[in-house]
Amino acid sequence: MRWALVPSPVDELLIAADEQGLCAVGFHRVPRDPPPGPRVEVDDDPVLRAAADQLAAYFAGRLTVFTVPLSVRHGSGFERAVWAELARIPYGETKTYGEVAAAACAALDRPGEAGHGAARAVGIACNRNPLPIVVPCHRVVGAGRKLVGFGGGLDRKRFLLELEARVELERALS
């Protein structure tokens, strides 16, 4: 694994890649264990370069869907189902923890398990998401569309949701 730091409006981001693709995005100032492997320059790695370019385009309002190859090697079956559902939430839209739980449980052919406990498990899966922003856990909100929970902090979540809403509004008006 190799990693680099890239600037963003929500703080410096730590991005990491392995031989398969982008495997981590993290808010650098949020205390986490540093990734194993060497720190490299973004320009020295094609996956990190693509991720940095796409993140910059996202923050500039020019990119709504990430296409950088991803590498997710960890997570339970339920967490992977949640992350797949997060990736399906359209840019500028939100889903509740309960809606994501229902979809993830249905994808696992366990629709009867989509109760309150599953919604809480979605929150845990979102917190364990190795690729925030790229796999948009910030688009998951509480019941009644209340702004709750985000590993990077609610200020960052609010910023990301407001960025997407502003870009969507500008596109609708043009």
Tell me the C-alpha distance between 66 and 88, whole Å.
12
Residue 137 bears catalytic tag: yes
Torsion of CA 71, 101, 119, 17, to 10 degrees: 10
| Angle formed by the axes of helices 97-107 and 77-88, nearest 10° | 120
Query: In degrees, to the nearest 5, what angle opens at C-alpha 151 toward C-alphas 7 and 165?
Result: 65
Tell me the C-alpha distance between 129 and 81, whole Å.
11
Tell me the C-alpha distance between 122 and 126, whole Å.
6
Chain center to CA of 137? 5
Catalytic residue list:
137
